[in-house]
A and B are shown apart, each in its own frame.
Chain A
Amino acid sequence: MSFKKVLTGNHAVSYGATSARVQVISAYPITPQTTIVELLSEIVAEGKLDAIFVNVESEHSAMSACIGASAAGARAFTATSAQGLALMHEMLHWAAGARLPIVMANVNRAMAPPWSIWTEQNDSLSQRDTGWMQFYVESNQEAYDYVIIAYKVAEQVLLPAMLVLDAFVLSHTSEPVEIYDQEKVDEFLPPYEPKFAIEPGKPISYGALSKPDTYMEFRYKMQKAMEKAVDVMEKEMNLFNEMFGRNYGLVEPYMMDDADYVIVTSGAMTSTARAAVHEMREEGKKVGLLKMKTFRPFPFKKVREMLKGRKKVAVLDRNISFGHHGIFYEEIKSAMYPVEPKVPLYGYILGLGGRDVTVKDIKEIYEDLVKREEMEEIIWKGVKL
């Protein structure tokens, strides 16, 4: 029987990894991720999860251990944040290039310096081009669900997946989370059957040298796997909905049917935006909300479908690519390029380093959006000028 439990976002991830029956966990502590692996280490120590917990001296080694485990055919899991994720960078490429379906939770935390432990997406978005799938979750339930979904997709397309949750707003805030019946999870997510596994006595070179006559084909296959992941996601989401009654998509629209103006968000600020949109709808404003959930693979088709024909769109970024713009904004702009007639898109930078994003902020952005005529390269919301 499934049951409800009040869990922090981090512990929801730990429960997700437990439900997914991960076999190897290797991690290095970093705030605000630590309580994910802390709880997992207890679960393993108590014998409630048949897994090996590998202590390491750095995140680079944590990912390396996961790579080894996954290459040997184990379901491997890790979690990290900010500087830890940055230290893994080399091995993120390795995991993806070796096509290992590792799942990692990254708790969004602003990069230092200046030192910060609060939420911001620059850490995960800096890993955009490593070949990892990225899923941004809004709630603790989603955090739990997406560990399971991530393995289901990753093991089919042979790409690693990162689920991303906001520091403190989710990681250390408690919500009721439904923990599913293990048998049903097992039915949804059968044991991992590796296509290529390292086996003692049958030596192979894993991640061997590839000369110019073959390297490009491996890269082509990775891109094809990412493209395939879009369809696999949709199929698995449907199955997930059938089995567990939660309907997730690559993106999630809210009050979008007749919306002239759309606010695009990702992560936990979506809940705030949802409340703001709800209130503004009651005031008769024709505004809708689009939540970006899957960042890689990028859901081109869904984004175009959802934003086509709108009067104006505001994209809210809790991140910045210095010298360019908010990253979701740029990605959505590039996705909308072929869409006619042109939809005016405005990019807002807000909430960096964990600064609160309030209902009032969202409403002000809406008012600003409606009035705005000229396209501006970058709009800062809430910066103390």
Chain B
Amino acid sequence: MDRDSPEVEDYEEVSVPEECELAEYDDAPAEAPLEGGGVEWRAGTSDRLTVEALRGTFGRPPVPSGFRMGQEALLFNQTACDYVVERGEEGHESAVIRVYGVTGEGHSVLCRVHGFLPYFYVAAPADWDESVLESFREALESTMAKFAGDERHGAADAVVGVSLVERRSVLYYRPEAEGGKFVRIAVRTPAQLRQAANLLRDGHVMRMPFELYDSTIDHVLRFMIDKDMVGCSWVELPAGSYTPLPDAALLSNTQIAVEVSWEWLTSHAPTKEWLRSAPLRILSLDIECAGRKGVFPEPDKDSVIQIACHVSVYGGSAALHRAVFTLNTCAMIPGVHVYSFDDEAELLQAFRNFCVAVDPDILTGYNIVNFDLPYLLNRAAHLRASRFPFLGRVRLARTQMRKTKMSSSAFGTHDSMVFSIEGRVVMDMMQVIIREYKLRSYSLNSVASEFLDEQKEDVHYSIISDLQAGNEHTRRRLAVYCLKDAYLPQRLMEKLLALTNYTELARVTGVPLDWLLSRGHMVKVVSLLHRKATRVGLLVPDLPRKQGDSGGGGDSGPQYEGATVIEPKKGFYRMPIATLDFASLYPSIMMAHNLCYSTLVRESDVKRLRPEDYVRSPLGHCFVRPTVRKGILSVILEELLQSRKVAKRDMAAATEPFLKEVLNGRQMALKISANAVYGFTGASTGKLPCMEISASVTAFGRQMIELTKNAVESMYPGAEVVYGDTDSVMVKFGDDIRLERVMALGAEAAAALTRRFPPPVKLEFEKAYFPYLLISKKRYAGLLWTRPEQHDKMDCKGIESVRRDNCRLVANVVSAVLRKLLVDQDVDGAIEFVKRVVSELLQNKIDLSLLVVSKTLTRDVEKYEAKQAHVFLVEKLRKRDRGSAPGLGDRVPYVIIKGATKDEKAYMRAEDPIYVLENGTPIDAQYYLENMLRKPLERIFSAVMKRPEQLFSGAHTRSIHVTAPRAGSGITKFAKFRLQCVGCRAAINEAELARLGLTGTALCAHCRQREPEWYRKTLHQAVALEKQYNALWTQCQACMGSCVQDVLCSNGDCPIFYRRRKVQKDITEAYATLARFSDAW
């Protein structure tokens, strides 16, 4: 995360003489011979696809000639900020802040901000005064020079300003020593800040160690805090305050490039008219690589064969431009610019020029951070396409990438790539979705089906090579597929309001947009804390960071007791259950008791306080009351919650849908941020952990839940708290009280109890469950009612298992059961339903796709230690056919089949679903019953019936189907299937039929008199199957967007795919049966 993180793996530098880079544009043709729609650019002409030429088609709207740069105010919506260290004319290094953004008219802006110096504080010894400062400065400077080992390099006058100031530390309330002396030290660059801070901390200056304050804050964030500028805000440069950048065209790729001194730049708070967003440009991309069979593409071997781009404008749903760059020819695609190349390096270069010409603010795609972008950069390096890695808005800045390891308590540890694409925010939808949603699978297929409710065509990469090797039409086919994969991330972004919500989160917490994805939760609170502290003259101490003991990963510092859970009284409640919730429990506790760093009193200082001036938490920690000093965390939380109220109110009043969404995004962002504050104080590896605060918060919480339970039960005789967790209690007021009454009682109880707690703690009654199925801790389901007329929805917690190793059948059955239990209140119906499913499973009547489990092969087969089904299957498939077996990174779908003997473990019995379909391999129905369905269903039914195990035994389990494979290995290869009578399934005795003079072998002698009836039935079946097949085929064609080409999809996550294969096989069988009828038919 740090800029100077040790695991930097810099992208291999390719040395390019700078002239070459600049020469690139000199030969740009003046004319832009491009027109919209279906243009095919022949191979070999790519040298004409310069940035200038492409701008003609794809560029931003031109800046009107009337705009008098420098003389009118410049207003733009900033999207990204960074800084660059430059050497000025006088030989000093300085850090220039660069703010990137877009004006309301859609013109891109680069604004270079000069003069903002990095600074930090150290605690000054009590006897220091102004007279010491100069010698301190000299001592610091000379120590820095000595340690830098290079006096020429500006270190000699690195320390620009030293001043004595009065401030307080944010940590601890000290009864008498209010206000303290601190030295504010300003240097020229962030690197010098780091150096100076370390030297001071370690006692190298004036032979004494200094305590550091505000020293670890990122330079960009420091600037934003001091300018009161939040992420994605509108920035204004007053008329006359700024100047156009000299040589703008040589230095930047933006339309407007200006310079300003930092004092002049102002930022508008994101309210009212500054809530809107500029028309940001979003470029979504997807690449295809030529894969070799069985190997994942490697950039030093496999070429990039296609790059598809989908350009859109934020807020507008239609595509602005669509383009695809292909290696080798490609037939025209309506509405898409197709550019074909013979040379791959030219293709990459054309894409790079396209990217610069489009000048997007947001780069998106699916898994572009860890696949597409690194692949392109590595491939370009391999091909020595030296002009490629310049994708940003600063012309001479090479696009770099490095690996980082991000550890966060909320998101776990991930290896990820970080890019420096100046001025463009990389917003990988895969990362967004992984952060925000818990899903069975994060493949684009399943994400698309989850959120967009559509299946996605999945062309296996072994087929991709075949398509590429075909003709211009097969390559067109591939291009269409690739374009769709570029389009989907953009649609996901739109559907999930990802950009809207992240923009609001950036605005609320004040961090730059791209930090939200590249960093953890903590940075948001750091930003909030510093912003508030700076304003009230508090400094944040830089405690030595606790490093997690290497090896002992589970050891995360001192533990404290978490939230309380009232033991659930399991059961199926057919009467309304009222839910009393504490609104924003933890934030309101922190506000109510004024819990903060700045109000915490050291135990030794407590006796010097008057008893009425402090509160003692249930754990014995003392915090002063707000009358003495108001904690800044309380202030932050108050503001956040107040803003949330405003946002909610405005949202209710808003009429424009887009504004409503923005405001909804904002109120959610505010809620998330408020809750993150508590987490920040409790994160032992965080920046400023304070267990006294976090442990006190949970202790107050536990006390309040207990109190609520007791109070409700004593206030309402007969009432019973059936369950309670963290911030809510579930109350049963009585056995036959009507919903309206329960709602009234709930509201009354909430109001009465709220009065018992210190404000702003508020107990709310918002919903009742009726009926309510309480299974165990954190697992319950019910119909949720907020008003007595109609229930709002079915609410399930902890039931619908999102575990990926579950098959779809489980989720389907569980949700159907819940619907029957809760909506229809039909317990018998639910039982019958489960029995029917069990019975169908045993009779092999369940759609195979519902039984498929799929897992990704995340490392080499040899590297798996534990035996896992999908790994075992891959080994099996490799033996069968090395070429088509799944490779690293592939999803491996499987079903569990019956074992040959009893001692075969389940993982050994995993089989490819297609193989199962084609060979009629028997599914292990018992496995699915015992290991998949049984537990979740018994859990649910344990609340409504005495012996839920009855669901899995009894008459309905005594009808089974024993499949016999038609082809394949084993004994069936040698056996002959005896024909069975279509009517009664008795074996057909052909000799007997012949003796009776009957032709055809479909029916036995007994069933002959009903031959017309059976023929009609069989024919109907065949026709029905054909219809079904046609419907499925049509669906697949619709999905791939063409009805004249073969469907190539092999999407193992798609139920349609399996059904198509199954029906195909059934049709063949149905026709074979038809053919057995006598000649008369």
Whether both chains belong to one complex is answered with: no
